[in-house]
Amino acid sequence: MIDYLIGVDGGGTGTRVRVARTAGAGGGEVAHGAAGPAGLALGVGNAWNAIQAAVAAAFAQAGIAQPPPARIAIGLGLAGVHDKCWAAEFVAADPGYAALVLETDAYACLLGAHEGAPGAIVALGTGSVGKALYPDGRRLTVGGWGFPAGDEAGGAWIGLRAVNHIQQVLDGRREPGAFADALIAHCGGGRDTLQAWLGQATETDYAALAPLVLKYATAHATTHAGAQSPDPAARAILLDAGQEAGNIARALDPDGTLPLALCGGLAAALRDYLPQGLSSRAAAARGDAAAGALRLIARHLDIHPIEPRR
């Protein structure tokens, strides 16, 4: 007997889950949980560890004794599922859930954003991807090629651009400033420490630089002399990110007829940097990717979808 459904959104920065009871066990969403990154590029073992930690946190937060996996059905939207080998390895490591459905994090995000209806999303988190579901049931993916080759406008891509900026500053090819100083300090303080940082940095580490880019681009950093002007290098990175997000949206829906939602942790922050017209057309997602993953597993079991707890 399946008593619980779990929806998982696992990316390169963190994992979020929603837990709901099935109708036979009382129905309704009961808890949220979170843990570290579960993107498959970081390893299948790491992904399962993060998912299990988030699930345990959700049950603990709800004050519910965690049932065995055989009483749980799980829907997962994970970064890295586009790699079929990683996906197969992940499914093979299933700890024994009663039912498991694995999809890309983009598709889970799409289902959550439009509550299962046709529409398009541009998801901007650690990485980036566009996904559309058309009225005839067709799907289209744009981007999502993975870092560092793709994922334009995502946090890791923004961080990579920021690192390139400080490399040029350290070389004397670009002017120094408070923005560069903050980035260099984050990466250890100088050329040698930056080289060491580069040797071990993951996409999560690069994405951790994105908040500094946002901070200095929006000019609310202060010194003893008062508020600073926006740093032109930081602002240029974000304007380029906005253009890339716009390119994704246009490739998904050239005529602009589908409902469009911006999703992911960077969606709100990058809205002001989107091309003219796109920002006004794009709406906030109605639900998140974990809610979409709940909808995914409910569809698989042919039961009524669980409406997310707001």
| CA angle (4 as vertex; 44, 263 as ends), nearest 5 | 60
Mean pLDDT throughout 187-203?
A: 92
Residues of the chain with CATH 3.30.420.40: 4-115+287-301, 118-284
pLDDT of 182 strictly over 50: yes
Q: CB-based burial of residue 61 (10 Å sphere; 0-12 exposed, 13-18 middle, 19+ buried)? A: middle
Q: Tokens representing 217?
A: 């681009």
Lowest mean pLDDT among 82-86, 209-213, 304-308: 304-308
Convert the pLDDT of each residue in 129-162 to its tens digit: 999 999 999 999 999 888 899 999 999 999 999 9
Convert the pLDDT of each residue in 207-249 to its tens digit: 999 999 999 998 654 554 555 688 999 999 999 999 999 999 9
Highest mean pLDDT pick, 16-20, 24-28, 269-273: 16-20
Whether the CB-CB separation of 37 and 46 falls below 8 Å is answered with yes
pLDDT tier at 309, thresholds 50, 70, 90: low
pLDDT of 107 reads 93
pLDDT of 24 reads 60
CATH number given to 118-284? 3.30.420.40
CATH 2.20.25.90 is the classification of domain 4-115+287-301: no
